Amino acid sequence: MIIDAHRHYWDPSRLEYGWLAHAPVALQRAFLPPDLDPTTDACILVQAAPDERETLFLFDIARRTDGVLGVIGWVDMEADNATQRIAALAEQGQGLLRGIRPMVQDIPDTEWLARPSLDRAFDCLRDHGLVFDALVDNRHLRALSQRLAQHTGLITVVDHGAKPNIADGQFASWASAIARVAQVPDVSCKLSGLLTLIDANGDASAIDPYAAHLFESFGGQRVMWGSDWPVLTTHATYEQWKARAQTLTRRFAPHHEAAVFGANAATIYSLATPVPAPASEGMS
């Protein structure tokens, strides 16, 4: 079973998605399950608004949509009652909540992750067995390393390879910083979001050295594929990106295709994946 470890659904008529005002016009509408071309791939839904109500919205979609295995939600991690809020969301999700994602890339303070006011919330994620999805770029990797050093055992997934500046070819500083983060054993990475970091008419092969470095740094057992749909649609279709990612995986992590496209996500997010029934005896 293929698992898309990073898919979004959103509806601006229901909730405020401030970042959409600066996004391409094609993304400034609702994207819901019927809008995705038919696919049998399972998925994890990821928050796109800094609002706990959106997490509840994603729970509702997950309960009504085949193949949704979990939700990465949002909570105000600096709130005085952040630990109670995390516990409440976990209870409301009834097993669907698999992680929390603060929208670090949109926070003006690039050292936000290092704030002591977040200590209790990160401990709470670890204690509840929830994953910290790190929506960061190169500006935040120092603070991320500092945060991870404080919370041994905190399962962390770096979204979109920490969003390297591919369009401007800024490889070296990102490469050294993400390699340091990868030295922490409980940190994994998503092979997602890279295509949208190149110019709309750019050569897709520009992402190849970045993908190669992610596989070299994390290894085939700590990289998982995600579509980043529908953001992806500004540069490719779902199936086009999946096929390219499969090619990259065969090239840079041979024999790890099953892990990257499903098994790693199932393990890292502790997903309750459906198990196919065994074939009856005598059936071919």
Q: Is the model's pTM score more than 0.85?
A: yes
Position 47 scores a pLDDT of 98
List the chain domain ranges: 3-268
Alpha carbons 195 and 108: distance in angstroms, whole number: 25
- pLDDT one-digit tens code per residue, 181-210: 999 999 999 999 999 999 877 899 999 999
Position 273 scores a pLDDT of 63
Position 151 scores a pLDDT of 94
Residue that has been written with the tokens 């929830």 in this structure: 130
Position 275 scores a pLDDT of 40
| Helix H or strand E encompassing 208 | helix 208-218
Cα–chain-centroid distance for residue 68? 14
- pLDDT one-digit tens code per residue, 93-145: 999 999 999 999 999 999 999 999 999 999 999 999 999 999 999 999 999 99
Structure tokens at 271: 């997903």
Structure tokens at 80: 């005085």
pLDDT band at 274 (very low <50, low <70, confident <90, very high): low
Residue 201: CB atoms within 10 Å = 6
Residue that has been written with the tokens 């071309």 in this structure: 37
pLDDT band at 167 (very low <50, low <70, confident <90, very high): confident
Give, as one character, the DSSP assignment of residue 171: -
Mean pLDDT of the region 219-233: 97
Alpha carbons 224 and 118: distance in angstroms, whole number: 27
Alpha carbons 251 and 216: distance in angstroms, whole number: 12
Helices (H), 46-171: 52-64, 82-93, 119-127, 141-150
The rounded mean pLDDT for the chain is: 93
Return the percentage of the chain with pLDDT > 90, whole number: 90
CATH number of 3-268: 3.20.20.140
Position 201 scores a pLDDT of 79
- pLDDT one-digit tens code per residue, 235-245: 999 999 999 99
